[in-house]
Structure 1
Amino acid sequence: MLIEKYKHHIFKVTYSVAKDKQEAEDLTQETFIKMVDALPSYQAQGFKTWLSRIAYHTAIDSYRKKKRRQEDLTSFDEPIFHIEQENSAEMEMLERNKKENVRKAIESMPGSFRDVVFCYYIREMSYAEIAQDLNIAEKTVEMRLYRSRKWMRQYWKEEDF
């Protein structure tokens, strides 16, 4: 009865961390198994919150374990099999073309967006440095970057670069 009542809520909690439907379903089942084991320690205070906390910690533990596994495999492979590849002339040319296309695209942006985007992404300045350079408030820099990212998602396509 408890599982039927809370399964959708627990799925949402685990999915918010896992970002994968199948993994979230597995974590939901694991949460209910852990719930049964932990029932003797339940102190009759907010069952849904208590169960949500178990689900969240289960999902976080799974995420950390998966990330650790990836790091272990990467750290093992790098020293032994690391082969330095030189960029071919073709790759360098493609990279230069891509950078040039990005610069042209930035130039085509509305003025208030263009200045902030150029300073932040090309010149790699902080919000405070941009605010000082453009003589605007730091919060304005943050707002313009937010709006410019929204503008870029709307008007730019990855294929264009």
Structure 2
Amino acid sequence: MSRPYVSSIAGVGREGRTIQDERLIKKVLAGNQQATRMLIERYKNHVFKVALSVLRDENHAEDVAQETFIKMLDALPSYKGPGFKTWLGRIAFRKAIDEQRKQKRRLENPLDNGFERTFLEDDRVEDRLLYREKIQRVRQGMEQLPENYKDVVRAYYIEEKSYREMAKEFQLAEKTIEMKLYRARKWMKNHWKEEDFS
């Protein structure tokens, strides 16, 4: 990790930092790329430390930090404030826990590891390329989803979370999660072609 970002926040109290955060967040929501970079720069060390405290591995913590900021940008419109640092820390903590669970599943499920090894050992380049292309199409498809559906679709289908876990994470009723997924499936059925993902 690079040295902590201190130039713009040195000597600034909590209240002053909160005001600066709120200004940056407004600019980020308005599409200001420089404000986005400044916000990430300001909190990258905090996010990394949160992830590292869970994972105890710098490489995995780096990956989780990147995922945290992607999630931050997705979720920022729903941020109500104040307490941005705490809010962002929670996202980093959840992402780190998710990564920890995935690592545990990979260790416990030899079939998954075998699937990955098959691709590596057999050196089936064409198959690997096709697989990557398919994953890329799925990711691009998810990016086309309305903002209202992205988080629940990712949480349910990619992160394999239960309705209860999602309800807790998004602070919504389980029935609301169920309805969002129903509407998301309906949207996908109307806008996606099956062959795009076959």
Normalising by the residue count of structure 1, what TM-score does the alignment of the two structures yield? 0.45
What is the TM-score of this pair, normalised by structure 2? 0.37
The structure with more radius of gyration? 1
